[in-house]
């Protein structure tokens, strides 16, 4: 049991009945190897919906794998994908920022990386034609919103403390993808004008969306390790237990409604 399980698991709780199986998997994109992490409840009958989980800018680490396991506890097949390649990850914000910037320098390449993981999940026998959603944290939140805007074949996306500014075109009118955003109202990386512009974009597209702003919550509010990162690197992030719990509860309802 790692530190994330101890902290987040104690806050949110897990079902003692689930038989969650996890396995690493590799897949290829443009000749490069990518490393995913699959989690599912082996006791459930298949097929069931799938959920892609996109990591923070740190890369595909223990935290995003834990979130995949938590989604498996809810009865989904979850795949924590790799947007950097070779399972690359870091604990330093400067290197993380460089990784994130490089991965988004070519949006078509970033889309291919995401869609390759989606195809892996869609082709898994435990998913087999069931709908797929995507959940992203920080960097990953911006990625899943971009994929929603670009028309990726997803039932829904949910962003936790991610950028709300379009990386290319805004969400087109008539899009039927469901969108949920969980944002820290005190997050300086997502200022109020960005939130207001996102609302205008969603309203203009007549989107089916949910936007929750948590008063006092900073960037990375779902990650218990954020307080250590803030102290070590002097950056404005922080864990918020109340926002973490509430956003996870709302995500469960959101996914259930999206998969009906």
Instruction: Evaluate the CA torsion angle 253, 156, 5, 126 in order and state its sign.
Output: positive
- What 8-state DSSP symbol labels residue 54? E
Residues sharing a CB contact under 8 Å with residue 26, sequence separation 6 or more, in sequence order:
33, 34, 35, 36
pLDDT at 4: 38
3-state SS of 86-149 is CCCECCCHHHHHHHHHHHCCCHHHHHHHHHHHHHHHHCCCCCCCCCEEEEEECHHHHHHHHHHH
Closest CA to 57 of 24, 103, 26: 103
> Tell me, which fold does domain 19-258 have in CATH?
Rossmann fold (3.40.50)
Structure tokens, 176: 């039927």
Are the C-beta atoms of 245 and 12 separated by less than 8 Å?
yes
H-helix segments, the chain = 3-4, 10-12, 62-73, 93-103, 107-122, 139-149, 192-204, 226-233, 241-258
pLDDT along the chain (260 residues), means of 10: 34 55 96 97 93 98 98 97 97 98 98 98 94 98 98 98 97 96 98 98 98 98 98 98 98 97
DSSP-derived pairing of the beta strands 132-137 and 77-80: unpaired
The structural domains of the chain, with segments of one domain joined by +, span 19-258
Instruction: Evaluate the CA torsion angle 101, 86, 234, 53 in order and state its sign.
Output: positive
pLDDT at 17: 58
């Amino acid at each position: 049991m790692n530190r994330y399980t101890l902290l987040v698991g104690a806050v949110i709780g897990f079902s003692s009945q689930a038989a969650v199986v996890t396995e690493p998997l590799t897949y290829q994109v443009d000749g490069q190897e990518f490393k995913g992490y699959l989690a599912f409840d082996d006791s459930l009958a298949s097929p069931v919906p799938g959920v892609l989980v996109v990591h923070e800018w740190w890369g595909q680490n223990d935290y995003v794998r834990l979130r995949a396991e938590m989604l498996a506890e809810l009865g989904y097949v979850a795949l924590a994908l790799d947007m950097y390649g070779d399972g690359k990850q870091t604990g330093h914000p400067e290197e993380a920022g460089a990784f994130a910037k490089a991965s988004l320098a070519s949006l078509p390449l970033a889309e291919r990386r995401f869609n390759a993981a989606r195809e892996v999940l869609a082709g898994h026998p435990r998913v087999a034609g069931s709908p797929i959603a995507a959940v992203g944290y920080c960097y990953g939140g911006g990625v899943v919103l971009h994929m929603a805007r670009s028309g990726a074949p997803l039932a829904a996306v949910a962003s936790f403390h991610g950028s709300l500014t379009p990386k290319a075109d805004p969400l087109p009118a008539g899009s039927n993808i469901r969108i949920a955003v969980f944002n820290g109202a005190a997050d300086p990386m997502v200022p109020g004008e960005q939130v207001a512009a996102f609302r205008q974009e969603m309203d203009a597209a007549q989107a089916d969306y949910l936007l929750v702003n948590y008063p006092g919550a900073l960037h990375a509010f779902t990650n218990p390790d954020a307080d250590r990162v803030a102290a070590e690197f002097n950056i404005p992030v922080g864990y918020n237990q109340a926002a973490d719990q509430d956003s996870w509860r709302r995500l469960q309802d959101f996914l259930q409604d999206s998969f009906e």
